[in-house]
Amino acid sequence: MTDFIEAFHTALRLIATLDPDLLGIVLLSLRVSLTAVAIASLIGFPLGAALAVYRFPGRGTLSAIVNALMGLPPVVAGLFIYLLLSNTGPLGVLQLLYTPTAMIIAQVVIVIPIVGALTRQACEDLLEEYDEQLRSLGASPTAIAFTLLWDGRYRLLTAVLAGFGRAIAEVGAVMIVGGNIDHVTRTMTTAIALETSKGNITLALALGIVLLVIAFAVNAALMGVRRFALRFAYA
Amino acid sequence: MLDPTKSPGAFDTAPDRSQTLLPLELRRLTYEASGKRVIDDLDLKLAEPGITAIMGPNGAGKSVLLRLMHGLITPASGEILWAGRRMDRALALRQAMVFQKPVLLRRSVAANIWHALGLRGIDRSKRAIRVDDALRLAGLEDLAAMPARVLSGGEQQRLSLARALSLEPEILLLDEPTASVDPASTLAIEQLLIESRHSGIKIIIVTHDIGQARRLAQDVVFLHHGQVIEHEPAKHFFTEPRSEAARSFLAGDLVL
């Protein structure tokens, strides 16, 4: 127990002194996950809006697939991207395996279904209310989609935060395609896994605390967005 | 748009503007919803400008009829002709509709009008003036920057009407616009409608409110079981209704 308390103190000191190793890992994690979420949003918003607005054959199936992929296990996503990027894979020539780019790609795959499905739901809910009014105003399907995206902006923001929460916390995909290389592809989650198994509880604990703080911050932001939107009747 | 000095274009052809889309002819119109005939072999011709009130008991098919006229839903059979032309998107763009429950975007009061004008393809340079005009018309200038959905019910419906009028429609369709609106806003809305009529807009309003129909309408279409029972000048309809159904309706009895 004293070991634990001591480790906890050291961990807090690592955080307080902005230990360079710790900082490097945290910043890489944030860079990878924020980039992945940004790219996934650029794809997920139009995907979700299109699924809500356009009527085309296979729309129901596609929606169901996107919904199902929300639960895609990160290790499976990692394995899939690994096969694509490995030397013998179709994208092997790009030599991306074990780079931060590979980790971003894997997390994009994980986050797109989350942002896409939540965007579709938000747009469908709005469309139920707006449909006749927008058609009366003469809006084309594309104009309707853009209107829904803007009017659903606060719910889209919560979708983005949910996607970020998932990306920053996942370990399976970044481990497989990143390889957990020190100072190159070592993220918070992979470092925790490695350091714990090496017995270096201190660094693992410090990273764990940082992750926890990020998770709390994301949740607080979610609640803040919701409250703000409700206050202006934008929810 | 009712102030000629502010938006000259609106008055160029007034007050004959609506004549171009009239008469409205509905021929053997039928509409079914979940196996039930809501509109049943309905014929109607609206040729005169002014305000037409569509009245009738609940479930008579009034709202459905309005949606059919506006092209929001398609009939099972029959024809809808505006000045001999079949309803299409180009015609819909010359109309505007106000719904019973105002559908306001999750934006500011001014942005609601701005966006509607944008969807209609109105040039950005002209939009600002039209937004200002519409807000002034509805007495909402002071609320321009407010989120639209925190307004009171009456203010919301006034905004909804101002937005519709900003589109400078030739035909204005309203589905019980004052059903859940305070008396002051109802008065403001009715005044806007009377002004709009004088500026040449043809108005078709579904209303439950007999007093409102008396105050506004030049002619009344009485609907029952998806059919037109009477179409009379307002003064005849209210003083000597011909049908039993209309008589009971006007007397405040339940019409089955």
B137 neighbors B7 (Cβ within 8 angstroms): no
Picking from B103, B122, B204 by the largest number of A CB atoms within 10 A of its own CB, the best residue to mutate is B103
- Which of B53, B28, B49 has the alpha carbon at shortest distance from B40? B28
B203, B52 Cβ separation under 8 angstroms: yes
Q: How many CB atoms lie within 10 A of CB B90?
A: 9
- Chain B residue nearest residue A153, CA to CA: B106
Q: Is the pLDDT of residue B226 over 80?
A: yes
Q: For chain A, list residues whose CB is within 8 angstroms of any CB belonging to chain B.
A: 129-130, 132-139, 143, 147, 150-153, 232-234
Interface residues from chain B to A (CB-CB < 8 Å): 67, 70, 72, 89, 92-93, 95-97, 99, 103, 105-107, 115-116, 119-121, 147, 149-150, 167
pLDDT score at A1 = 63
CA dihedral B192, B197, B201, B205 (to 10 degrees): 70
What's the pLDDT score for residue A3?
78
The helix/strand/coil state of A204 is: helix
pLDDT in tens, B53-108: 999 998 899 999 999 999 999 999 999 999 999 988 889 899 999 999 999 999 99
In chain A, the domains with their CATH numbers are 2-231 (1.10.3720.10)
pLDDT tens per residue, range B164-204: 999 999 999 999 999 989 999 999 999 999 999 999 999 99
Query: Which pLDDT value is given to residue B3?
Result: 44
Contact call for A233 and B116, based on CB within 8 A: no
Contact B147 A143 (CB under 8 A): no
pLDDT at B4 over 80: no
Cβ–Cβ gap A136/B97 under 8 Å = yes
- Whether the CA torsion B192, B193, B198, B202 is positive or negative: it is positive
Per-residue pLDDT tens digits for A143-195:
999 999 999 999 999 999 999 999 999 999 999 999 999 999 999 999 999 99
Q: Give the pTM.
A: 0.90
Residue A226 pLDDT: 87
Pairing of strands B202-206, B51-55: parallel
Tokens 């650029």 correspond to A42
How many CA atoms are closer than 13 Å to the CA of A227, on its beta-carbon side? 6
**B24-33/B36-46 β-pairing:** antiparallel
CA distance A119 to B253: 49
Q: What's the CA gap between B117 and B126, in Å, rounded?
A: 9
pLDDT tens by residue, chain A, 235 residues: 677 888 888 889 999 999 999 999 999 999 999 999 999 999 999 999 999 999 999 999 999 999 999 999 999 999 999 999 999 999 999 999 999 999 999 999 999 999 999 999 999 999 999 999 999 999 999 999 999 999 999 999 999 999 999 999 999 999 999 999 999 999 999 999 999 999 888 889 999 999 999 989 988 998 999 898 888 887 6
Chain-chain contact of B147 with A136 (C-beta, under 8 angstroms) = no
A171: left (phi over 0), alpha (psi -120 to 50) or beta: alpha
Residue B35 has pLDDT above 70, yes or no: yes
SS3 A213: helix
The pLDDT, as a whole number, for residue B88 is 85
Topology adopted by domain B8-251? Rossmann fold (3.40.50)
